[in-house]
Structure 1
């Protein structure tokens, strides 16, 4: 079967090139963008303000790029995991998380991950390829809750700064007036802390940033996150101190708590010292067990004491509610299970 190039994932300039190549006027690019990103059509033939001839010519080379999820699994708490076709015969996940008046979609940027974090199921599966901007945007357009989404977080499978061109393109489509026209304040990108990627992300977008820390001590963090050896978290935090997060964007720190490993007052005090002067907010996350990693989650009282200690030291900290534990909550588990099956 002949491969057709997807239209979703293209920006306005590229759609103008498509229009010119198909003998259409330049303004047809905006018409296509409207059909793709606002009206969210799945077929070129549904773009009814393009002539039949133009649609036929377009369909010889292009498709919309829309693909339905391969699987949908619902949790008792309302969380929904979706499975999409990814890269190199590896599927990827997107997770819809409802929370009162918010509806957040956690999207993937890669099939697998190169960062190899010890506690992450995605990293334990290895790296299998980058997702295209079309595959990233398809997750947002093709979940059942697409029209009611309030936020998107690049916090699913993969390290976003390791596939930054596609991620920045997806952000452009989400925020451009010809695209979905979202405020960048509705988008958060999570990273393990690669300085080159962080600099580009801060320069090229206005989205929120979430930094995965998980231990304030370099040697301990390196055991969990090999990236620490190349890019020490203390140096990443120093880089972030030079940016104003108070008004234009938010900086948050992701801290997954593990029993007896990173959950005592010593860790809280060191984390507060590390973050002082950054305006960072800390999200404390209860560890979700993954196969092959023996750590356990701390008791609720330990997490509460850790949060209260940070707050007392001037660092805003909250405990993130655990969601979707009955549907393979840890990132990458559903995709890994389907691959094995």
Structure 2
């Protein structure tokens, strides 16, 4: 059941996150003329309305009717943590202030988004789920288990409700959860971000990360032009399975075979994300096997330093080892960079997001 529409929760349905056809259905229900849907969309996404009374293009009677049945769906972050490097981590409730942002799952945990300023770029890393089903051993989100899917309202709220919202240049779906495990709501959020009636962003400002869940990934690639990042972390199946149980269902070689059918040379980019552990996956044998895995795919590699989490016995690779690994891949024709680590001191770096238990527990 779609819990956003579940009267048992006592929450009104949020207008935030709705696509134009969904707003058109609301307008029809309200007895308004069809063009009112675009007026509502403009107020929601360009005007960034926080309450229905701000939709002054609509008659007062229509605003009253809407307010009885719907809410805008904006909710400010509960907490923020600021890093010495300028990174900011925001904690958002999945339920509260009359809004339920979960479409599936029992809840019980809030979600985090991370704002990363870097010279002329301002990136927000957003979450698509509370927790995660994928069970990656090195990831704090995966270790907490699955608590629910975020609605498109819950995703868009992260983007519109941080103080730096209007200065954002990029969005990455690399926060809590596996986006392709919640692909319908992620696609709605991407539509809101890129449609002319929404925020009208170029899809090249958006990157969606995945462990390679192919059914959802194919939908994303067929229906959008956003950039895609695939978590690999080892080119050897048995090693990858030990780190990422999803290797059994979605082997990396099958994922990369599927990627060969798509054009990543022009409007969008494909990258392989590769966390590096000392003595585990950072030698030349791994570099050469990774190059073979990516052969025939227009794909670049991002090397990521491991960030220690409780309960996982692993150490980050040394800087010089990562540089040699990078140089070897580049010599083999694979464009490779080392991603700068940001926000580790506030547990906002890659693999460290966990949210916190909600008051409902």
TM-score, normalized by length of structure 1?
0.97
Residue number among 16, 32, 37 corresponding to 2:45 in the alignment: 37
1:28 is aligned to 2:36:
yes
Does 315-324 or 234-243 show the bigger shift? 234-243
In structure 2, relative to structure 1, the CA distance for the partners of 1:2 and 1:329 (3 Å cut) is: closer
| Post-superposition CA distance 1:277-333 (Å, at most 9, x none) | 212110000000011001011111011010001001110000000000110134575
The whole-number CA distance in structure 2 between the counterparts of 1:143 and 1:274 is 39
Q: Within 5 Å, which residues of 2 pair with 1:241-256?
A: 241-256=260-275
In structure 1, the partner of 2:59 is 51
Partners of 1:122 and 1:331 within 8 A in 2: no
Does 269-278 or 212-221 show the bigger shift? 269-278
| Post-superposition CA distance 1:253-297 (Å, at most 9, x none) | 100001111111111111011112212110000000011001011
Q: Within 5 Å, which residues of 2 pair with 1:254-333?
A: 254-330=273-349, 333=352
Does 158-167 or 44-53 show the bigger shift? 44-53
Residue number among 126, 129, 139 corresponding to 2:145 in the alignment: 126
RMSD of aligned C-alpha atoms?
1.5
The Cα of 1:336 is off from its aligned counterpart by: 4.5
The whole-number CA distance in structure 2 between the counterparts of 1:103 and 1:315 is 27
Q: Within 5 Å, which residues of 2 pair with 1:69-88?
A: 69-86=77-94, 87=102, 88=107
The whole-number CA distance in structure 2 between the counterparts of 1:331 and 1:82 is 15
* Residue segments in structure 2 that go unaligned for 5+ positions in a row: 1-8, 95-101
Q: Within 5 Å, which residues of 2 pair with 1:155-170?
A: 155-170=174-189
In structure 1, the partner of 2:71 is 63
| Post-superposition CA distance 1:198-242 (Å, at most 9, x none) | 111111111111000000000000000001011110111111112
The whole-number CA distance in structure 2 between the counterparts of 1:137 and 1:67 is 10
The Cα of 1:17 is off from its aligned counterpart by: 1.2
The whole-number CA distance in structure 2 between the counterparts of 1:332 and 1:225 is 13
The whole-number CA distance in structure 2 between the counterparts of 1:135 and 1:49 is 25
The Cα of 1:337 is off from its aligned counterpart by: 5.1
SS of 1:193's partner is coil
The whole-number CA distance in structure 1 between the counterparts of 2:299 and 2:199 is 28
Q: Within 5 Å, which residues of 2 pair with 1:67-216?
A: 67-86=75-94, 87=102, 88-216=107-235
Partners of 1:290 and 1:330 within 8 A in 2: no
The whole-number CA distance in structure 1 between the counterparts of 2:156 and 2:91 is 14
The Cα of 1:63 is off from its aligned counterpart by: 0.5
| Post-superposition CA distance 1:150-205 (Å, at most 9, x none) | 11111110000000000000001101000000111111110001121111111111
The Cα of 1:248 is off from its aligned counterpart by: 1.9
1:233 is aligned to 2:241:
no
Does 186-195 or 323-332 show the bigger shift? 323-332
SS of 1:206's partner is coil
The Cα of 1:23 is off from its aligned counterpart by: 2.1
The whole-number CA distance in structure 1 between the counterparts of 2:330 and 2:318 is 19
The Cα of 1:243 is off from its aligned counterpart by: 1.3
